Homo-oligomer: A and B are copies of this chain.
Amino acid sequence: MNARWFYPLLIIATLLSGLVHWFGFNETFRFIFASLSLLLWAALLGKATENVAHYAGERLGGFLNATFGNAAELIIAVFLIREGLLDMVKASITGSIIGNLLLVLGLSLVAGGVKFKVQSFNTMLAGHNASLMLLAVIALFIPASFSTYLPSGELETLSLIISALLIAGYLLWLIFSMITHKEELAHPGNQEPVAKQAEKDALGTPPISGEQPSWSRNVSVFLLLLSTVFVAVQSEWLVESIEVVAHSLGWSELFVGAFLIAVIGNAAEHSAAIFLAMKNRIGAAVEIAIGSSLQIALFVAPFLVFISLLFQKPMNLVFTGPEMVAIAVSAFIAKSISRDGSTNWFEGILLLIVYIILGTAFFLV
């Protein structure tokens, strides 16, 4: 991505999306342009978050980064909940997790592994990521494995308690990784702080020494607000058209939620991670991929459980069999590959094979 064609593309995609929406052409076009526009606004939202985070100071900035990082997925999910498409919300949560762990991480490892024989990163971070991922898998497994023993009201209670615990755990993880054990988890040697640099690279700005923002404080805040509004608008249009499009193509809700929506919502992370891997900053790429899926599982998913109460469409954390299999399988293979803090192209291929297998299975359902 490059600033020279990014902004023109953003404006054209948004105009086309608006035209198709208001003049009510056909649903497929509406879906396509809303997707493209959403993807670009999500990238800008990511960059604006980085900049605001910079001015907010390190602590608050890290928190902003961590919580706004998946804002696009969150907004899409809120509109899905409003429409009562709870199954598609869970499918899109599943899809975000496996998309980050398999597709983003897999492509990054292949892209990096083709240029560099072996790439290494901090193993202590890898270990903690693995334990957190296991917590996420456990938290999403318990409700389903108790679902035959519990009436639906108590499943709702269990989901709310688990959600509160996950959010508490996630906040403690931020304290642990950003305050009490910051140094231990830092990347070795020449690697820069991850999140900040990542999105910048993706947007084409030259890799500044990790501290220089792209815009003034006021412009940053304005762009954050603007892009949040546009992400919300485009998400709403996307969600409105998605059922019609899925139906006309004969695709299952599960496939649309887990593969289509997830890829659109995560596109910014995708390109950022791959760029970093190609620059041999595999640690940063791994952190985007795994960190983002952790955020979805430990923060976004439980947060949505509470949000769903506001819309009086209570969503529990009972995932379907295929979704649980997909999440567990992705977590285990990603853990097995990242645990030793060293990666290569073949490990990326393994992740991509599992992604294609899961994609095929979800498509056929």
User: A interface vs B, CB < 8 Å?
Assistant: 117-118, 123-124, 127-128, 130-132, 134-135, 138-139, 141-143, 145-146, 148-150, 154, 157-158, 161-162, 165-166, 168-169, 172-173, 176, 180-181, 184, 321-322, 325, 329, 332-333, 336-337, 339-340, 342, 344-347, 349-350, 353-354, 356-358, 360-361, 364-365
Contacts and interface: CB of A to CB of B under 8 A. Distances in A.
B364 A158 contact: yes
A321 B147 CA distance: 11
Given A118-B184, A325-B141, A360-B162, A345 B176 contact: yes
Contact of A172 (B131, B150, B337, B346): B346
Contacts of A168: 353
Name the residue among A146, A157, A325 with the largest chain B CB count within 10 angstroms.
A146
A160 B131 CA distance: 34
Contacts of A118: 181, 184
B345 A131 contact: no
Contacts of A346: 128, 172-173, 176, 180-181
Contacts of A329: 138, 141-142
A336 B134 contact: yes
Contacts of A340: 123-124, 127
A40 B313 CA distance: 50
Given A124-B342, A132-B350, A135-B333, 15 more contacts: A131-B337, A134-B332, A135-B353, A145-B325, A146-B361, A146-B364, A146-B365, A149-B365, A150-B365, A157-B364, A162-B360, A165-B357, A172-B346, A176-B346, A180-B346
A342 B123 CA distance: 12
6 contacts: A124-B340, A131-B347, A138-B329, A139-B357, A142-B358, A149-B322
Nearest to A254: B149
Nearest to A118: B184
B350 A135 contact: yes
A133 B329 CA distance: 12
B135 A354 contact: yes
Nearest to A148: B321
Contacts of A322: 145-146, 149
Nearest 5 Cβ contacts at the A-B interface: A176-B346, A154-B364, A145-B325, A131-B336, A138-B329
A120 to B, nearest CB: 12
Nearest to A157: B364
A48 to B, nearest CB: 30
A349 to B, nearest CB: 5
Contacts of A333: 131, 134-135, 138
A358 B145 CA distance: 11
Contact of A325 (B127, B142, B154): B142
A349 B134 contact: no
